[in-house]
Chain A
């Protein structure tokens, strides 16, 4: 029965070929005992690959992400594809939204080219795994900052880009005004979100019993609500506003005057690469600072030519080498503002009064105007 050998060899060869296809295999050579060693080597690869840090001993993983991104030639950004104003696909098939523009800003900071970014739509369910496994470099998908996510899910939250709170939307003719009115009702909610847990928390503390109708994605949730499957729908207020704008009759729905939770939404990066965290962080601050100093994509060249204020000069890379300290070029903030715009421009483009998804600035204004946006000094 020699055919068995043929089968065996073929099978083995096939599996081996498959394994080899994946990339430069570490040449197993059949020594089963060396398994542990192989792993140690692979873990240490990042350290060997990081730029030789002079005197300071860089923490493990420092700088790997930037290297990887630069070598690849583009940034891979995990985004939402279903929330108008934040992250969605327009009819031309392009990604748009405030979270999407943040990714462009980051690409502009790294490459000086806002188009060098690949958007990867990730579901609420898979977003953290996608970040953990290195499939995406950064997650910019209206993700709420919470302790568990900051620790156990293996990520670090960058500064909040949008302050939000969970709200509740009901049909205007239902006459429901408070959460207590929802006693015995059905509430549409999306799974895998903090929303789902907050809803449960708040309703339990109010002693209101309800039936959840839970859906996989935002589209399904709001489609079900629009069809009257539920008495109310809950998600972040921004989401409610942007979603209400695209319902068949926006005026027929009201958002209750209750805030069920704090929802600071921001980008998230992997644990273990502080340089990458800093870059992501200061990209946000550069956008804030742009608004604070009234630098827009339209006037940034003028400002750069005539700037006298030291901080503006440092921000635009005319003075000092702030960018180099991040591992970028000194004009990184100039690129962000020039190619994508400051925070106000990005906000108005996606959520401003001229868009169907208009949301008043509220907490998302500069600290000088009573909001929470406050960039640390650029020095």
Chain B
């Protein structure tokens, strides 16, 4: 998509909209026909959609239940803790943008999103928090821009500890209700919060397992190889929903009597085991693309097998497959919605309970449209950011 290589047409031709239309829309009779047909479909779809959004749809169901959709039954009095870790993440993002994407104006616009959201009538407390988020992001950005070299390490450290921080703040510390950060049990986690946590945990934990499985599949030891191949192919051959059912119904039976695993954790285990098999195949693709010379060169330098893998091969392989990995992460994010079928109250699960409320019966379109919007914006955002990242890291340009 670089503009340098394409020869621009003369100015006269470029500016002539009629000529452009003639070339791109009405090149031949069937082209014209297709254009008219396409335009009609587009007009009909857009008009129908806008009419529905602005006149037919009753959005009250969404605005009334915004809290349920976002955090489920998570107690309101402890919800500040969620805002805190969200602020931490936004601050880190701001920092990272300031350090690594200093020239990208778009990235800064991203940081203003919370402020934009604050324009919606979410109630006073969420609005204040949203504005604080925006400030945290901008402050982080400013810091990052000002002292990139100093902050680099601490930002990376911040990202590394972010997951434990998130889990700790969400779950809480003290057993007693009056103590510092009382525990909020996982059965109260719900909505987008649960979807987010399932996704993040699924992605992070499946990554090491996936890499190990990929290495195992390429191993010269037949048993390790068979094991990895067997695992990968079996998991890839069955639907996620069967794995989730297995995790929910059979995992408790696998453990010794008296051991119990939390429902949410069970879903996380299921998603992780599932995603690991797919990741393994992606990583294998990356490993295969590394030329043999790299191995030989590393050996010649006196690196042992472990060092070769960690410092030479894997970094290159993973860098090669960044786009595929992001695709996989998006897939995990979308797939987490399946936990609703096993009874967890994630975004989709909570939507079902919202639709059971007497005053909002029959508003399926509104609720599911809103949820689709959330899924779409986040998935598209992720893939867009990954494209930016690819350009910055020069993936595929070597």
Contacts and interface: CB of A to CB of B under 8 A. Distances in A.
Interface of A is mostly: mixed
A126 B343 contact: yes
A118 B187 contact: yes
Contacts, number: 111
Contact of A7 (B68, B216, B259): B216
A219 B352 contact: yes
Interface residues of B, number: 47
Contacts of B238: none
A89 B73 contact: yes
Interface of B: 64-65, 68, 72-73, 175, 185, 187, 208-209, 212, 215-216, 219-221, 224, 248-249, 252-253, 255-261, 263, 304-306, 308-309, 341-343, 345, 352-353, 355-358, 361-362, 364
Nearest to A219: B356
Max chain A CB contacts within 10 Å: which of B304, B309, B357, B364? B357
A88 interface: yes
A126 B257 contact: no
A239 B276 CA distance: 43
A248 B212 contact: no
Contacts of B224: 4, 7-8
Nearest to A10: B212
B220 A1 contact: yes
B341 A216 contact: yes
A153 interface: no
A220 B356 CA distance: 9
Given A4-B219, A4-B221, A11 B342 contact: no
Interface stretch (A39-47, A175-183, A192-200, A277-285): A39-47
Contacts of A261: none
A329 interface: no
A23 interface: yes
B361 A42 contact: no
Given A4-B220, A73-B175, A91 B208 contact: no
Interface of A: 1-8, 10-11, 14, 22-23, 26, 39, 42-43, 45-46, 73, 81-82, 84, 88-89, 91, 93, 118-123, 126, 129, 133-135, 216-220, 223, 226-227, 245-248, 356
Contacts of A134: 252, 257-258, 260
Contact of A126 (B261, B342, B362, B364): B342
A3 B253 CA distance: 36
B364 A42 contact: no
A246 B358 CA distance: 5
Contacts of A248: 361-362
Given A23-B259, A45-B258, A81-B353, A14 B215 contact: no
A91 B357 contact: yes
Nearest to A39: B256
A46 B258 contact: yes
